[in-house]
A and B are shown apart, each in its own frame.
Chain A
Amino acid sequence: MRLSAWLPLAALSALAVCGAATRPHYGGTLRVEMRAAPAAIDPAVVDAAPLASLLFETLVRLDEAGTPQPCLAVSWQHDSAWKRWQFHLRPGVKFQDGSPLTAAAVAASLQAALPGVALTATGDAVTIRANHPLPDLLLDLAHNGLVFAQSAEGGWLGTGPFRPTAFEPGRRALFAANDDYWGGRPFLDAIDVQLGRGLRDQLLDLELGKADVVEVGPTDLRRASDHGKTVWSSAAVNLIAIVFAPDAPGVSGRADDPRLREALALSIGRAAMHSVLLQKQGEPTAALLPQWISGYAFAFPMAPDLARARALANALPPAARALTLTYDPSMRAARSLAERVAVNARDAGLAVQVSPQNPRADARLAEVRLVSLNPARALVGLAAAFGLQDLAAPAPAVSDAASPAALYESERKLLEGFRTIPLFQLPVLYGVGSRVRVYAPPPITSLGDWRFDNVWLSGTAP
């Protein structure tokens, strides 16, 4: 199972241009742009996750095959019941202010990420004890278990390969190489991140050579490849879904009828949208969790059933066969997807009116990022993001030990009222300029976080 990939879209001959050398160069500033505009680089802020991945590290990280590998922990053991885990820390690791990483600091950092467990620090070891089994603890730690400390000035300190040098909330973040990084100094001298840049502006900057790494939408892949750019791809981590909001003020209430929601769900031809509108990126789905996380997403049927959709629509009063669908224009491919949903719905006898940023719409097209590699936590996170938390699974402490069969049942119940209609699982895609090289892949993780310590720039003076 390979979780992230470099798409072979670029003309690979770009790697063999005159003057290109095999060995990586040190030096240079990587120019990155992103849509999100976080107000702070806080380990707990989801929007800041890519930035945080430059500064903060975890006890373990996943390799490209999804296997946990040592990071700040060099070894670990657990008891046969999976209730007691012990991690031994890598010696010689320092925070970015030069202070040593201690087991106590690790335990304090992880407490928020692991509610309901006891953390103790002894020597170079951190012990985690719970009353329930924690079979997926390594997955939790690999993504959510960031280790940090607070500086004397109140800022965040990490152990990662870069350190922050300047931050303008929502606008710009600058980072410099951490010369004392335990894994060896990064090749790059600095990273300059422009925040809050629209996708169109990002692509333009990439084409004009003003940026080295930008986010791209699936519909821009061909354009990026036509310009000889490489594309980095995460695993499928962003769920695009139609979400009904019957309780919102000013909403018509038509979507309260489950027959309308089911008719719409059964009318949607995901395969054609995936092939044409999304350029076959990611995967169509009728499940909340992606297949690589749950293993059972295929068991949620997604083939359209127009006959049943029409029957359901015909059973509604004519005035109730209409609804409004809105979308965020900054979302990738949102408008074309929404308009295609409307076309499919018409075939089933439903009238769907599409408009951007309509707070009174019956339904909205939403894109939500996976928050955990642990299937149970990821499901709880998605349910909360889609407003399904009241129906959502039990407390995380119990969910941690949930079997795939139990998770499937939870997910089936979350979806059975068609309040959320999953459509696609999409990867995070980055268009990459021709001077960017990677010494040891992957440059981004399966969840789309940055691993830029092995990125280098050709044509830079060392």
Chain B
Amino acid sequence: MSGAARDLARTVAAAVAHEPVAVTVRNLSTLGAGETAEIRRVFESELRAAGQPAAEIQLTISENLTQFLLVAEIHRGAERQVLLESWPRTPAASPAAPRDKPARVTLEKKLLWEQDLPILDVAQAADALLVLDGARVLLVRGEERQSAPIPATHAWPRDLRGRLSVSNTAFTAWLPGTICRGSTQPQLSLECHDSQDPWLLAPGAIALFAPDRNLFQGHIDIEPGGARDLPPFYSAAPAGDAWILAAADGRAHVYTQAWEPAGTIDQWGSDIAGIQTPCGARILATRPGSLSEPDAIQAYELGVGAPNNGAPNPAGPALEFSGPITALWSAGNSTTAVSRDLQTGRYAAFSLAPTCGS
């Protein structure tokens, strides 16, 4: 940068010998104020050193896809001369791999983990935290980090989803068309294979996930109650004896214990989950909208069979996030949400803790 400014100043000095000079500088590039000031300092210093004060010079800092440019436009009355110097913007090396009444229920979020790769789920395993993404399972224990890769035997679908379930030191990770089983002791271990095994949907409920899609196929098996075939859905939440499925048609469908349709809800996003709170079971739901907008999670009560025909009542204020919610999973007493920060592009996993007010 300084070299280009020095070289251009020397060329300009040679071009405008013995004339009075006035230099103006403008920056059309992405360089900052500090770099602009440095270019101006070097340029003017070099002009003075050349002892050749000159004409009117418009110095412009510009850029194209690969280079920064310094453009000197020398004006002498109607005459005009343009001189250029340039230097590379960035080395052309391949980039690194993608990096890694009063409210009744108030939700608080606690940051568990943050990384560049999309987090699919996190789970607490004894004294360690497990983080699932499309490339690995990561174990975080204090300052200790262990990582086990997930072999890529087939292309992941877009909008990749995954689920973790922990039992003592053993854990299971489900990804589309793949199941992995592992242990956190004595060291992190993981074994994966292609599988169409159903995913854990909620305690006591399993469902088949489409191996090349981002949703459950609709086949659900609940204890007690047995198996059912329903329309494809993104997520599901128990609501007392009923179930709510966030279906692929963009609506949440409410089913009675006997799996009779009991209404639909239009105001929710694709991700819902059941949560146990000190004041009873509630449903958490994201907002409908775009993945380019900030999202929020709100707790709801559902009055199935009530005059509102299943319409949800907000059970507390919405918990806002700085970006879209990309995952929401519940495992009974613990609920985790993953959000992508719209400013940084990083993914953050939170645990959600409900408290009850009056």
Q: Which residues of A contact B (CB under 8 A)?
A: 1, 15-26, 62, 66-70, 73-78, 82, 92, 135-139, 179-187, 291-296, 298-299, 301, 373, 375, 403-405, 408, 412, 437, 439-441, 453-454, 458-459, 461-462
Contacts and interface: CB of A to CB of B under 8 A. Distances in A.
A139 B289 contact: no
Given A20-B288, A25-B248, A299-B73, A1 B28 contact: no
A70 B96 CA distance: 10
Given A68-B92, A77-B94, A301 B155 contact: no
B251 A23 contact: no
Given A15-B293, A184-B157, A70 B94 contact: yes
A138 B89 CA distance: 14
A453 B158 CA distance: 9
Contacts of A92: 152, 155
A1 B83 CA distance: 24
B325 interface: yes
Contacts of A408: 82, 84
Nearest to B153: A92
Given A77-B94, A295-B63, A181 B155 contact: yes
B288 A185 contact: no
Nearest to B246: A21
Interface stretch (B166-174, B263-271, B330-338): B263-271
Contacts of B63: 1, 295
Contacts of A78: 92
B290 A437 contact: yes
A19 B83 contact: no
A387 to B, nearest CB: 25
B213 interface: yes
Contacts of B250: 19-21, 25, 458-459
Interface residues of B, number: 59
B84 to A, nearest CB: 4
A373 B65 contact: yes
A299 B71 contact: yes
B64 A439 contact: no
Contact of A296 (B65, B71, B160, B271): B71
A25 to B, nearest CB: 6
Contact of B93 (A69, A77, A187, A461): A77
A26 B269 contact: no
Residue in A73, A92, A453 whose Cβ sees the most chain B Cβ within 10 Å: A92
B269 A24 contact: no
Interface in B3-43: 28, 30
A298 B60 contact: yes
B191 interface: no
Nearest to A161: B158
Q: Which 7 A-B pairs have the closest CB atoms?
A: A295-B64, A23-B270, A19-B250, A405-B84, A22-B269, A18-B266, A295-B69
A268 to B, nearest CB: 19
Nearest to B78: A308
